[in-house]
């Protein structure tokens, strides 16, 4: 078997793309999208019909221009999600507008709107994960939604403190970012050896995985944001890994044996700890990498959300 086939025997493989053709090719269990991936899909002529469908649906209501644009972008993401759910047996992750990352109530309200639209299309909430940035406000929104039976994917997760808070909140799934952590460290230490187990992103996800398993948290760990297949190989055995089509192809081209690196019986050196808001914010303040990458990720997703709105406003 190739390494992608081997990986699927030890880890749930998730497609990190809005490209329906790639999902059809690699047959993942789940799929994730974000504003950047949706923007890329919106620029592909094969999705022109969905763009127009989103615009037509949004303008039917008598709303302000800004609300109509928000409705269009939400609808486009949901229409992409609808297409993807027809190809996968599992869940689609749909992201809340990054500009709501510091507003708990607005995040909960947006999640309700997304779920209502999915259910109106015949897609039950059990097929959907609401993606929310792992700010304190986002985690609290996730806590509220999980109690309502709306499962969440807490994304832009870079620190152990974020992972601790998500587990305490009963979040269904977290997406700790591997490659962006590596990017931060490589920028500051360009000559360092960050291969395989030396990769700080790999180390972060491995630590979180061991902590969750040792202390019996049910929150799923889904490594994300990979820069190379070495990072994926080093995390083989993680609950889930969300992988871009290019890296899934690289794994499919590799016929060597893949070793399972993470196992549920691994012990953690970290004692169980519940973080209150002040402790969470202090831990984030002390982690320059996590603070930098979280803020950067929110800014970039918000910028791509605006670009998507602009593109949708011009659809004809």
Rg (CA), the chain: 19
The reported pLDDT for the residue numbered 29 is: 97
Residue 22, domain member (yes or no)? no
Identify whether the C-beta of residue 271 lies closer than 8 Å to the C-beta of residue 214. Answer: no
Closest CA to 178 of 119, 237, 136, 222: 222
Residue 55, domain member (yes or no)? yes
pLDDT above 70 as % of the chain: 97
**C-alpha span between 200 and 137 (Å, rounded):** 26
Query: Is a pLDDT exceeding 80 seen at residue 62?
Result: no
Question: Which amino acids are annotated catalytic?
Answer: 131
SS (HEC) of 105-149: HHHHHHHHHHHHHHHHCCCCHHHEEEEEECCHHHHHHHHHHHHCC
Look up the CATH number of the domain holding residue 288.
3.20.20.70
Quote the DSSP letter at residue 197: G
Q: Which helix (H) or strand (E) holds 209?
A: helix 200-214
The reported pLDDT for the residue numbered 63 is: 61
**Mean local confidence (pLDDT), 53-69:** 76
Residue 45, domain member (yes or no)? yes
Which are the contacts of 96, defined by CB distance < 8 A and separation ≥ 6? 107, 110, 111, 114, 130, 131, 132, 133
Q: Which helix (H) or strand (E) holds 312?
A: helix 288-313
Residue 77, domain member (yes or no)? yes
Residue 181, domain member (yes or no)? yes
Domain residue limits at 220: 3-16+27-314
**C-alpha span between 292 and 180 (Å, rounded):** 10
Q: For Cα atoms 96, 102, 107, give the angle at the middle one, nearest 5 degrees.
A: 35
Task: Give residue-wise pLDDT tens across range 207-260.
Answer: 999 999 999 999 999 999 999 999 999 999 999 999 999 999 999 999 999 999
pTM of the model: 0.95
Residue 300, domain member (yes or no)? yes
Query: Is a pLDDT exceeding 90 seen at residue 70?
Result: no
298 confidence band (pLDDT: 50, 70, 90): very high
Residue 237, domain member (yes or no)? yes
Task: Give residue-wise pLDDT tens across range 149-201.
Answer: 999 999 999 999 999 999 999 999 999 999 999 999 999 999 999 999 999 99
The reported pLDDT for the residue numbered 65 is: 59
Domains held by the chain: number: 1
313 confidence band (pLDDT: 50, 70, 90): confident
Residue 21, domain member (yes or no)? no
């Amino acid at each position: 078997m190739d390494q992608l086939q081997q990986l699927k025997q030890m880890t749930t493989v998730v497609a990190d793309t809005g490209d329906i053709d790639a999902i059809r090719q690699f047959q993942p269990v789940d799929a994730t999208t974000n504003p950047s991936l949706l923007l890329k899909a919106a620029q592909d002529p094969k999705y022109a019909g969905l763009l127009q469908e989103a615009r037509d649906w949004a303008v039917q209501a008598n709303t302000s221009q800004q609300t109509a644009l928000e409705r269009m972008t939400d609808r486009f993401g949901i229409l992409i999600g609808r297409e993807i759910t027809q190809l996968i047996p599992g869940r689609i992750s749909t992201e809340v507008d990054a500009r709501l990352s510091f507003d708990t109530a607005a995040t909960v309200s947006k999640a309700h709107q997304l779920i209502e639209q999915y259910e109106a299309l015949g897609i039950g909430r059990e097929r959907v994960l609401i993606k929310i940035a792992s700010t304190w406000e986002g985690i609290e929104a996730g806590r509220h939604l999980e109690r309502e039976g709306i499962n969440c994917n807490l994304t832009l997760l870079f620190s152990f403190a974020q992972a601790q808070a998500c587990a305490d909140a009963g979040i269904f799934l977290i997406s700790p970012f591997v490659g962006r952590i590596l990017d931060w460290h490589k920028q500051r230490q360009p000559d360092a050896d960050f291969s395989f187990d030396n990769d700080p992103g790999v180390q972060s996800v491995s630590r979180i995985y061991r902590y969750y398993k040792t202390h019996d948290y049910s929150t799923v760990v889904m490594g994300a944001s990979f820069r190379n297949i070495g990072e994926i190989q080093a995390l083989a055995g993680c609950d889930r890994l969300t992988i871009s089509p290019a890296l899934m192809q690289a794994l499919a081209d590799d016929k060597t044996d893949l070793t399972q690196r993470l196992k549920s019986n691994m012990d953690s050196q970290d004692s169980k700890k519940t973080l209150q808001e002040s402790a969470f914010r202090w831990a984030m303040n002390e982690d320059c990498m996590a603070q930098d990458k979280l803020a950067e990720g929110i800014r970039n997703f918000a910028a791509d959300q605006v670009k998507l709105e602009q593109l949708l406003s011009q659809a004809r």
